[in-house]
Amino acid sequence: MKDALESIRAAAAEALAAAHDEAAIEAVRVRFLGRQGELTTVVRRMRDVEAAERPAMGALLNAIKDDVEARIAAALHAAQRAARAARAAARIDVTVPGRRPEPARLHPLLRTMDEIVDIFCGLGFSVAEGPEIEDDYHNFEALNFPADHPARDMQDTLFSTDGHVLRTHTSPVQIRVMESRKPPLRIIAPGAVYRHDSDTTHSPMFHQIEGFMVDSHITFGDLQGVLTLALQAIFGADLPVRLRPSFFPFTEPSAEVDVGCFNCRRDGAPCRVCKGTGWVEILGAGMIDPNVFRAVGYDPEAVSGFAFGMGIERITMLKYQIDDIRLFFSNDVRFLRQF
| Residues with Cβ within 8 Å of residue 213, at least 6 apart in sequence | 125, 184, 185, 186, 187, 222, 223, 226, 305, 306
Give the domain 108-336 fold.
BirA Bifunctional Protein; domain 2 (3.30.930)
Per-residue pLDDT tens over the stretch 84-132: 888 777 777 777 787 888 787 889 999 999 999 999 999 999 999 999 9
Distance, CA of 109 to CA of 121 (rounded, Å): 18
Distance, CA of 43 to CA of 35 (rounded, Å): 11
Per-residue pLDDT tens over the stretch 199-243: 666 678 889 999 999 999 999 999 999 999 999 998 888 888 999
Per-residue pLDDT tens over the stretch 10-43: 888 888 888 888 888 888 888 888 878 787 777 7
Strand-pairing partners, residue 257, are 243, 283
Amino acid 246: pLDDT: 93
Per-residue pLDDT tens over the stretch 266-293: 665 677 777 778 888 999 999 999 999 9
User: In 3D, which of 135, 168, 337 has the Cα closest to residue 249?
Assistant: 168
Amino acid 158: pLDDT: 81
Cis geometry, peptide bond prior to residue 253 (ω within 30 degrees of 0): yes
Distance, CA of 282 to CA of 239 (rounded, Å): 13
Distance, CA of 210 to CA of 127 (rounded, Å): 10
Q: Is the pTM of this model over 0.75?
A: no
